[in-house]
A and B are shown apart, each in its own frame.
Chain A
Amino acid sequence: MTAVRTGNTQAKRDRRNGRNAGRGRAEAVTMVVAGVVAFPLFWMVLTAIKPEDEVLSADPKPWTLRPTFDSFVRALTVQNFGRYFLNSVIVALAVVLLSMLVAFLAAAALTRFRFRGRTTMLIMLLVVQMVPVEALTVPLFFLMRSVGQSVPAFGLNHLGSLVLVHLAFSLPFAIWMLRGFVAAVPKELEEAATLDGASRFRFLWRVLFPLVAPGLVATSVLSFIHAWNDFLFAKTFIISAAENQTLPLALQVFVRPDQNDWGAIMAGATLMTIPVLVFFVFVQRRLVSGLAGSVKG
């Protein structure tokens, strides 16, 4: 009896040890993969703080003993990088604020009201996300050109044109995702607010808006990234106004046919990545649950 029990415990312990060994292996693999995935980012920052002779060395070392901010200084001063940075911030913030406002109203309408054509609109929102925005560069180029003839601020060579297109492209997904957050607010709350004499408008801003705020933050990240990362439209719309270029294009300035200034390019890439990383880490948890929610419906 005792022997059986010990044997049993022994088997259990063996199994546990086996599982621990397996888990140890899995964790080792995980760490190697994490290292490989993070490596390009490490290399980007490292190159940015290396002195120029080490960057141009044919025998690159994975460390530096003489860290310097020279490359950052070159990136920020020589090519007017600060100005491009500011332009990118302006475009991204304008897109985030406008798209959140418009998407919140639309999501409230699509979730809180029953009306004819509602399902059709929801399907359209999904379909519209599949339209390759890059294919629309040609008509949008002409559209912005004619808009610019009456309202220059929203025409070619102006930041307004970029705000408009990114607003349009980030809206469908923003509405789609916010819908889930609005739907999670119990219907009884609206009834209670109405009974207390709150108007629809008041309910919308005083009750619904604060409750959906976490969802707004998660959604805003995707709108932000969309506008921040854009290369194509900045390249197409901002043709001759160098002072209105955005970061992705500024990075290309350092790429020269003869000799790339890799230090400055990596410093620029680092500066460009930091805001997105900060934004991401900030909303990481909400983003994951938001994505999971939007996938599961």
Chain B
Amino acid sequence: MYAFEFEKPATIADAVAALGGEEAQALGGGQTLIPTLKQRLAQPGTLVSLKGIPEMAGICVADDGALAVGGATTHATVAASTEYPGLAGLASHIGDPAVRNRGTIGGSLANNDPAACYPAAALGSGATIKTNTREIAADDYFQGMFTTALEDGEIITEVRFPVPEVSNYQKFVQPASRFALVGVFVAKYADGVRVAVTGASEDGVFRWSEAEAALSANFAPEAIEGLSVDADGMIGDIHGSKAYRAHLVGVMTKRAVAAAS
């Protein structure tokens, strides 16, 4: 990697200030950024670690019953939590133990890898992404592969998840990376069902509205029968064709509904 300065502020305010510097970049758990630096594919002037900020770490239940997860909370911490089993289950299968004990929810959502797991949970739960300046609805936050509503220097301080009645995440892994080739998060709320798909689309995570409508009417795997996503717009690569991914969206959705608890 190229040489860089390193700062580890203790407050959000200090982190925001540090990120105002020239060519400064936020560092969460580093599970994507550090390998990128090692490959010399990024050259930040300063890395600002967000892992020394107590107000950004940890999990609690908010007054409205939503689960509030600090932006610097590791996947392992979320995996060990009990309030939102579908979310904990998703977090428990991200990467391997080393990744889960370093990687953070804020880092994952800020990066918005099209094959990452957390975007499916955030979008599938209708979560609110809280930053140092504002609150962003998940429906507005994800804007395509590696693209989000975040402005330069904006930090995800918290993610607030409404807890559904039942939920589940089913991931079909890409054999090499074990990222999601297709991952589907299904959450059933009193006012309807949300279905979010990661890994599959050239536009990144998306909601499968047709399935949401069918499942809102009948929350059962059979409700998906006959429904399909359009293979156009799906990712096609050496691990699977567009048609294969489109097919898997249906399979994983059914399995998520069947497994939802």
Is B truly associated with A?
no
Contact residues of A with B, CB < 8 Å? none
Residues of B within 8 A of A (CB): none
